Amino acid sequence: MKPPAFAPDWAALRADFPILDQTVHGRPLVYLDNGATTQKPRAVIAALARFYERDNANVHRAIHELSFRATTAYEDARARAARFINAASPEEIVFTRGTTESINLVAYVFTPRLQPGDTILLTEMEHHSNLVPWQLLAQRTGAHLRFVPVTGDEGLLDLRRLDDLLSGKVKLFAFTHVSNTLGTINPVAELCARARAHGVISLVDAAQSAGHLPLDVQLLGCDFLAFSGHKMAGPTGIGVLYGRRALLDSLEPFQGGGEMIASVQFEESTWNKVPHKFEAGTPDIAGAVGLHAAMDYLEGVGRAAIGRHDEELARAACDRLRGIPGLRLLGPTEARGAVVSFALAGIHAHDVVTFADQEGVALRGGHHCTQPLLRKLGVPATTRASFYLYNTPAEVDRLAEVISQAAKFFGARD
Amino acid sequence: MDLTELYQSVILENNRRPRNFRKLPTANRVAAGNNPVCGDELTVYVQLEDGRIADISFEGAGCAISQASASVMTQRLKGRSVAEAEALFARFKDIVTQGVPDEEDLDLSAFSGVHQFPARIKCATLGWHAALNAVHGEAATATTE
């Protein structure tokens, strides 16, 4: 990899996140639970406050000035999101509550398109939010699920049989870009191209990648892509579903209510055009405004730079943790996202996390909403450290030190 | 707070070397317990004779609190009547929810630090719920939800 032409001043960026400047249980906070949610820079917090202090009103409803401002801010955020992932037009951006709702939306509106015997292809490394909505869709329609296998601890997708798996009555292939448990970065463009060659619609779960890596939906060639604001320095409660325009046009609505209609009569209604057809009710307007600020912020830093920063921290963490006796690292050794997951022999992840918390280090322990994957790997739970742009090499050292202490404190079972 | 208040030596020791950690071939009552939040899973085996717990054991995987608590529980319940077991569980619940140690029962009192970690109370009581379900012949899996 060639060195970056421009390296951001990471220490200065860290100072943009006021929450990080505190002690927890008497120790400096080391926040390493970014896979669950990221912290917010002042620019995002200020954008939310400014919206509520000056511009708040409902959107697309009224003629008055504040409503005009709120509508403009909301639609500007949509246009920003379109540029952020290089969608062909803002109409391809549907605002949702987050990745989970985005995927549920697609799973719901696909109900009339599936028949008994059809297949939905997933992978073994999906988050429950990219598994359970498809289980529900399969139950509604009589379709069944098929899975691209994961190869052991290194956590890569085994693509040798992908063309077989995409053959037959496969209607949809949904997979994650970056695994929230293993840190694996999947070859999205290749997977989408192979799906398309079989006439299969593709959906990319970009929850763990949208704030970490450059995303270009036209280069990736995906039909749908879903992500959450709160995992990319934005507010909770707002997310995006990208869908190819022609596909969105051809689908029936998700929820019914205000905003999504063109004309309503007592017995039936006609639908508004996309994307409004999929946005019933008052949306999270302030959330969209905050997400806009987050996207501006991330673009200012540069997502390619953030991706390199993530990878350096993850590699350093793997190198440091590997030396701890009884520690089993999960996930790929090369080209990984900002996630490092591990198990300590005989010591449960929740004990490790409780120990680390007392040292001010915020980690995640458990199944990370990927129970079937952990069952396959034969670990009941893992401890996960996940990084973001404000984390530092010194925090990686602190992580390794605390994990090492935890291993000694609990000791392995005889 | 000091971590050793939560993880007292009795807990660390019972976690490293859980007592009565096995299947019980003579068991006539079995109940499972799981804590979906933590992923703690255990099975308690009871040999019930004339309303007394003649023998008791457990198996499973989980955090130190759940494992140690189940281990201590098997030691404390062996030989007890059902009524005594219920009374002990009530006392144990007071210890883990209110943090008041019982001077006469140092092993149970080792769990008094749990009350400062509300999320972990479920871990501490999981084995006990499963044991009493087994004794009462309730086949359903005990959950902490």
Q: Point out the residue among A354, A380, A414 whose CB comes nearest to the CB of B61.
A: A380
- The CATH homologous superfamily to which domain A10-31+302-410 belongs is Aspartate Aminotransferase, domain 1 (3.90.1150.10)
DSSP B34: E
Q: Locate B107 and state its tokens.
A: 């092993």
Give yes or no for a contact between B62 and B42, defined as CB atoms under 8 angstroms apart.
yes
CATH 3.40.640.10 domain position(s) in chain A: 45-300
Confidence of residue B47 (pLDDT cuts 50, 70, 90): very high
**Per-residue pLDDT, A23:** 97
Q: CA torsion angle for A389, A394, A398, A404 (degrees, to 10)?
A: 110
- Look at residue A361 in the predicted model and tell me its pLDDT: 98
A contacts of B65 (beta carbons < 8 Å): 351
Question: What is the C-alpha separation between B145 and B133, in angstroms, rounded?
Answer: 15
Whole-prediction pTM: 0.92
Do the beta carbons of residue A169 and residue A118 sit within 8 Å?
yes
What ipTM, to 2 d.p.? 0.85
pLDDT of residue B145: 46
Please say if the pLDDT value at position A220 is more than 60.
Answer: yes
* Annotation marks residue A318 as catalytic: no
A260 in Cβ contact with A276 (< 8 Å): yes
Residue A1: the pLDDT is 47
Nearest chain A residue to B63 by CA: give it: A348
For residue A326, give the amino acid letter. Answer: G
Q: Where are the alpha helices (DSSP H) in A252-348?
A: 285-301, 303-322
Mean confidence (pLDDT) of chain A: 94
Tell me the one-letter amino acid at A250: S
Least confident of A237-251, B9-23, B32-46: B32-46
User: CA-nearest residue of chain A to B40?
Assistant: A380
Amino acid at A62: A
| Nearest residue on chain B to A352, alpha-carbon basis | B63
Can you tell me the distance from the alpha carbon of B71 to that of B91, in angstroms, rounded to the nearest whole number? 17
Share of chain B above pLDDT 70, in %: 94
Number of other CB atoms surrounding residue B76 within 10 Å: 20
pLDDT at A171: 98
Q: Give the pLDDT confidence of B102-141 residue by residue, as tens digits.
A: 888 888 999 999 998 888 899 999 999 999 999 998 655 6
For residue B139, give both structure tokens.
């086949």
- Residue A111 structure tokens: 């109900």
Domain ranges of chain B: 3-137
Question: Backbone phi, then psi, for A21, in 5-degree steps?
Answer: -90, 75
Q: Give contacts of A 106-165 with B, CB under 8 A.
A: none
What CATH number is given for B3-137 in this structure?
Answer: 3.90.1010.10
pLDDT digits (tens, 9 = 90+) for A272-312: 999 999 999 999 999 999 999 999 999 999 999 999 999 99
Task: Judge whether A408 is closer than 8 Å to chain B, CB to CB.
Answer: no
| pLDDT score of A375 | 84
**CATH number for the domain formed by residue range(s) A45-300:** 3.40.640.10
Residue A59: the pLDDT is: 93
Q: Cβ(B108)–Cβ(B94) under 8 Å?
A: no
- How does pLDDT run across B80-90, given as a tens digit for each residue? 999 999 999 99
Ranking A87-96, A175-184, A316-325, B95-104 by mean pLDDT, the lowest is B95-104
CATH 3.90.1150.10 positions along chain A are 10-31+302-410
